[in-house]
A and B are shown apart, each in its own frame.
Chain A
Amino acid sequence: MPAVKVENLEKDYGKVKALRGISFEIKEGEIFGLIGPNGAGKSTTLKILATLLTPTGGKAEIFGHDVVKEAPRIRELISYLPEEAGAYKNLTGREYLEFMARLYAKNERDSAKMMELGIKLSGLGGRLDDKVSTYSKGMTRKLLLARALMVRPKLAILDEPASGLDIINAYTIRKTIREFARSEGVTFLLSSHNMLEVEFLCHRVALIDEGRIIDLGTPGELKERYDAENLEEVFMRAIGEGGVHYE
Chain B
Amino acid sequence: MSDFWIMAKKEMKNLIRDKKLLFGLIIVPLVLYPAMGKLMHVGLEKAQGETHVAIANFDDGQYGMVLVKTLQNAPNVTVTLINASSVERALEFAAKRDQNVLVVIPHNFSESIINDKPATVKLYGIFRSVSTGMKESVSEGRINAVISVLSEQIARIKIQKLGAGSPDAVLHPVRAESMSYLKNRIVPVSPSIVSGVLASQSITLPIIIFLMVTITAQMAAGAVAAEKENKTLETLLTLPVKRTTIVASKITGTALMGLIAALAYMVGMRSYMESLGVQSGISLSELGLQIAPGGMVLFALIIFLTIIFSLSLAMILAIFAQDVQSANTVVSSVILPLAFPAFILMYTGIGELPAAARYALLADPFTHPIVAYQYMLSGNYTGMLTSIAYLAVLAALTLYTTARIFSTEKVLTAKIGRGRKS
Whether the Cβ atoms of A103 and B17 lie closer than 8 Å is: no
Q: Could you tell me the distance between the alpha carbons of A78 and B239 in the complex, rounded to whole angstroms? A: 9
- Of A24-32, A89-97, A227-235, the stretch lying at the interface with chain B is A89-97
Is B412 positioned at the interface, with any CB of A under 8 Å from its CB? yes
Q: Could you tell me the distance between the alpha carbons of A166 and B234 in the complex, rounded to whole angstroms? A: 24
Contact with A52, one of B3, B14, B237, B422 (Cβ below 8 angstroms):
B237
Whether the Cβ atoms of B238 and A78 lie closer than 8 Å is: yes
Whether the Cβ atoms of B238 and A99 lie closer than 8 Å is: no
Interfacial chain B residues near A102, Cβ < 8 Å? 1, 6
Is A144 positioned at the interface, with any CB of B under 8 Å from its CB? yes
Whether the Cβ atoms of B231 and A82 lie closer than 8 Å is: yes
Chain B 240-251, CB within 8 Å of chain A: the 1/0 string? 111000000000
Interfacial chain B residues near A51, Cβ < 8 Å? 237-238
Q: In whole Å, how far is A99's beta carbon from the nearest beta carbon of chain B? A: 5
Given contact pairs A82-B231, A91-B13, A52 touches B412 in the complex (Cβ within 8 A) = yes
Chain A residue at minimum C-beta to C-beta distance from B6: A102
- B: interface residue count bin: 20 to 34
Q: In whole Å, how far is B134's beta carbon from the nearest beta carbon of chain A? A: 45
Chain A residue at minimum C-beta to C-beta distance from B18: A90
Q: In whole Å, how far is B244's beta carbon from the nearest beta carbon of chain A? A: 11
Whether the Cβ atoms of A90 and B231 lie closer than 8 Å is: no
Is A58 positioned at the interface, with any CB of B under 8 Å from its CB? no
Q: Which of B97-118 contact A (CB under 8 A)?
A: none
Chain B residue at minimum C-beta to C-beta distance from A99: B10
Q: In whole Å, how far is B270's beta carbon from the nearest beta carbon of chain A? A: 31
Q: In whole Å, how far is B421's beta carbon from the nearest beta carbon of chain A? A: 9
Given contact pairs A53-B409, A90-B14, A75 touches B240 in the complex (Cβ within 8 A) = yes
Chain B 7-37, CB within 8 Å of chain A: the 1/0 string? 1001001100110000000000000000000
Q: Which of B227-241 contact A (CB under 8 A)?
A: 230-232, 234-235, 237-241
Q: Which of A87-134 contact B (CB under 8 A)?
A: 87-91, 95, 99-100, 102-104
Whether the Cβ atoms of B10 and A85 lie closer than 8 Å is: no
Q: Could you tell me the distance between the alpha carbons of A81 and B240 in the complex, rounded to whole angstroms? A: 14
Q: Could you tell me the distance between the alpha carbons of A179 and B336 in the complex, rounded to whole angstroms? A: 55
Q: Could you tell me the distance between the alpha carbons of A238 and B7 in the complex, rounded to whole angstroms? A: 47
Is B184 positioned at the interface, with any CB of A under 8 Å from its CB? no
Is B178 positioned at the interface, with any CB of A under 8 Å from its CB? no
Q: In whole Å, how far is A141's beta carbon from the nearest beta carbon of chain B? A: 12
Is A164 positioned at the interface, with any CB of B under 8 Å from its CB? no
Q: In whole Å, how far is B387's beta carbon from the nearest beta carbon of chain A? A: 37
Whether the Cβ atoms of B17 and A52 lie closer than 8 Å is: no
Contact with A88, one of B6, B10, B240, B242 (Cβ below 8 angstroms):
B10
Q: Could you tell me the distance between the alpha carbons of A65 and B14 in the complex, rounded to whole angstroms? A: 35
A-B contact pairs, 25 of them (CB 8 A): A47-B234, A50-B238, A51-B237, A52-B237, A52-B412, A54-B408, A75-B238, A75-B240, A80-B234, A80-B238, A82-B234, A82-B235, A84-B231, A85-B231, A88-B10, A88-B14, A88-B232, A90-B14, A90-B18, A91-B17, A99-B6, A100-B239, A103-B239, A103-B240, A103-B241
